[in-house]
Structures are given as C-alpha cells and as structure tokens.
C-alpha cells in the first residue's frame, strides 16, 4: 500500500499548509464565507484529532517532549473553543471577519511552534515503525472522517 510510505511529519506539514491556504481564501474574500469556514473547521478538527490520538499520545511518553505536547493539547482545546464560538454566536460580517483573523493568527502560531519545536523531536524519540504506524492510523482516520461527513 503506497499510503504507508508517506512521512508523518510531511503529511502534518501539508495539512498545516492546507489550513493556512483555506484561512487566506476566507480572509481574501472579505465577507462571511460560511461554506469555506465549515470545510476549514472540519479539516482542522480531523487534523487535531489525529495528532492527539496518534502522535501526541506517543510523544508525551518521552520527557523531552512532554511539556510541549501538553501545551499543544491546550492550544487544540483553545482552537476548538474559538471554533465553537462561530457556531454559537450570531456575528455580524465585520465581527466575523475579525474573529477569522484572530483564529488564523492563533492557528498559524500553533502550527509554527509544532513544526519548529515538536516535529524535530519525533524522529529522535519515536521509532521508524511507530512513525509509519501513526501515518497509517492518521490517514485512515482522515479518510474515514471525510467519508462519513460527505
């Protein structure tokens, strides 16, 4: 199966790029883009779930990564909280656009920290087989979630 050959860290970085691309498309439109936002939220939710279930759980067992992983869990919690406010509040267009910008900046900061502080630890702390298994589990989760939400 070709998918198992995919490097986990490259896969996660690609997802980060896709998330930022969606944010930029939404922001460029300068209006409430509910459909694009719904797709963005779905992608981010699936990505965070995969990181938490497969990647973070293995990394947090290593003292060198534990504190950074715990911070990442908290950043995911805050991201979910911010996303939920879009659904629970009636926002006028200006406020919605401002909130998108703040969320985008927060997510960009989180992803840069992951890529610069957490990702470099993985090859040193996790075995190649573990990274391969995580890639497979992550892809399976992502594919399953995307199928069930269509």
3-state SS assignment for residue 3: helix
Q: For residues 83 and 19, is the Cβ–Cβ distance under 8 A?
A: no
CA 72 to CA 138: how far, in whole Å? Answer: 17
Confidence band for 89, pLDDT divided at 50, 70 and 90 = low
pTM of the model: 0.88
pLDDT of 148: 76
Read off the pLDDT of residues 104-138 as tens digits, 9 standing for 90 and up.
Answer: 999 999 999 999 999 999 999 999 999 999 999 99
pLDDT of 149: 64
pLDDT of 90: 66
Q: Check pLDDT > 70 for residue 145.
A: yes
3-state SS assignment for residue 142: helix
Query: What does the DSSP 8-state code read for residue 56?
Result: I
Q: For residues 118 and 68, is the Cβ–Cβ distance under 8 A?
A: yes
pLDDT of 32: 80
Average pLDDT, the chain: 89
Helix orientation angle between 63-88 and 34-50, rounded to the nearest 10 degrees: 150
């Amino acid at each position: 199966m070709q998918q198992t050959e995919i490097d986990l860290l490259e896969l996660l970085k690609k997802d980060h790029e896709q998330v930022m691309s969606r944010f930029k498309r939404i922001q460029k439109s300068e209006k409430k883009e509910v459909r694009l936002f719904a797709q963005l939220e779905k992608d981010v939710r699936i990505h965070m779930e995969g990181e938490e279930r497969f990647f973070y759980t293995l990394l947090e067992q290593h003292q060198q990564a534990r504190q950074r992983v715990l911070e990442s869990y908290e950043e995911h919690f805050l991201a979910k909280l911010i996303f939920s406010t879009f659904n629970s509040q009636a926002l006028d267009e200006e406020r919605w656009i401002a909130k998108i910008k703040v969320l985008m900046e927060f997510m960009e900061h989180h992803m840069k920290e992951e890529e610069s502080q957490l990702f470099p630890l993985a090859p040193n702390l996790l075995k190649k087989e573990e990274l391969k298994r995580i890639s497979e589990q992550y892809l399976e989760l992502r594919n399953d979630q995307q199928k069930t939400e269509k």
